[in-house]
Amino acid sequence: MDEDLSVYELIKEGETRLIRSDIGNAFDESIVLMRYALKKSMGEVIISYGDKLDKNKVDLFEKLIKRRSRKEPYAYIANKKEFYSLEFFVDGSVLIPRPDTECLVDEALKEIEKFQNELKRKIYILDIGTGSGAVAISIAKNSYNVIIYAVDNSIKSLNVAKKNIKANRVEKKVIPVYFDMLKSKKTDLSLCRSSLHDFDCYLKPNGFDIYDFDNFDIIVSNPPYIETDELKILDDGIKFYEPPEALDGGEDGLKFYRKIFDAAVLHSRNKKSIILEIDYRKKSAIYSLFEKKFTNYNGIKFKRLVFANDLSNKERVTKITYG
């Protein structure tokens, strides 16, 4: 890009390049990238429309436009994303938190209040597949007297979660733990012993079995639920940049739900709730799976499944109460 161009002209040049790459709202996106390059507010950028930038700022803006032109999500470019009115660090090792998932937090907070009224003690929560920690941290910031075990099978994801836990000052409420839901309680914790100095080691707490759901009052999760064959038709920004292991729910998109339900029926001594984000198209399949896994299982005295809608009025969350 030409150093002789004004800020406004650079933004228009960025818009043109983004349009060529089929980026929607290209002018707005170009302004956002300029704001990021200059570290200025929208108002400050508008006021500086007629200004010229030094070569370093022009080169930086051009690099940002190139990254966005390749469909890289802005959240990864800026390493930040807002969720539930909080700011989270994100990188390519974690999914970008989305507004639809805020419904999962809403339902968890409702359930926490019910349990607190009944139990009059700390409420123990398990967040399966925590990723950036957005769900666990949002719950922690908006509730009291809770302990949340934020688990993931990726050390890189857990390091992102730990950074966000510290930034949001919920270290006393949210505990990051390495755990692989698909491998049950025999998960090989030696995988934590990384030789990379910037990886922390997240071990299962001594004497506390993450796989035993009876240790928790509430289990929450936004599990991978995209069918494997659908991964190749996702938008480029998702397909080429977000971690596929956090998206792939297996052949029918239900792999993780089966595993969670299996763990649930094996540990049903106490009343608890499972709150899961779902693909609204899978509502019937989720209900059928619930009926299959929970019906006639010895030890389960009661069971109930309900769905909650997101802001688009689509079923986004299922809540199972059982015990």
* Structural domain count, the chain: 2
Domain assignment of residue 213, yes or no: yes
Same domain, 56 and 111: no
Residue at 280 is within a domain: yes
Answer yes or no: is 82 within a domain: no
The CATH number covering residue 215 comes to 3.40.50.150
CA distance 50 to 150: 48
The DSSP line for 26-46 is HHHHHHHHHHHHHT--HHHHH
Residue 76 counted as domain residue:
no
From first to last of its 323 residues, the chain has per-residue pLDDT tens of 878 899 999 999 999 999 999 999 999 999 999 999 999 999 999 999 999 999 999 999 999 999 999 999 999 999 999 999 999 999 999 999 999 999 999 999 999 999 999 998 999 999 999 999 999 999 999 999 999 999 999 999 999 999 999 999 999 999 998 888 887 554 444 444 443 334 444 555 555 677 889 999 999 999 999 999 999 999 999 999 999 999 999 999 999 999 999 999 888 888 999 999 999 999 999 999 999 998 866 678 889 999 999 988 999 999 999 98
CA angle 94, 213, 177 (to 5 degrees): 35
Examine residue 84 and state whether it is found in any structural domain, yes or no: no
Nearest-angstrom CA–CA distance, 291 and 169: 40
Domain that holds residue 15: 7-70
Record the pTM. Answer: 0.91
Residue 23 token pair = 């980026």
Q: Is the domain of 34 the same as that of 110?
A: no
Adjacent-strand bridge partners of 320: 274, 305
**pLDDT given for residue 4 in this prediction:** 87
Considering the domain boundaries, does residue 162 fall inside one? yes
pLDDT of residue 180: 86
65/112 same-domain check: no
Position 295 scores a pLDDT of: 83
pLDDT value of residue 268: 84
- What pLDDT does residue 298 have? 66
Residue 86 lies in a domain: no
pLDDT at 195: 36
Residue 1 lies in a domain: no
Q: Does residue 138 sit in the same domain as residue 258?
A: yes
Task: Provide the sign of the torsion angle of the four alpha carbons 116, 310, 99, 246, taken in this order.
Answer: positive
64 and 171 in a single domain? The answer is no
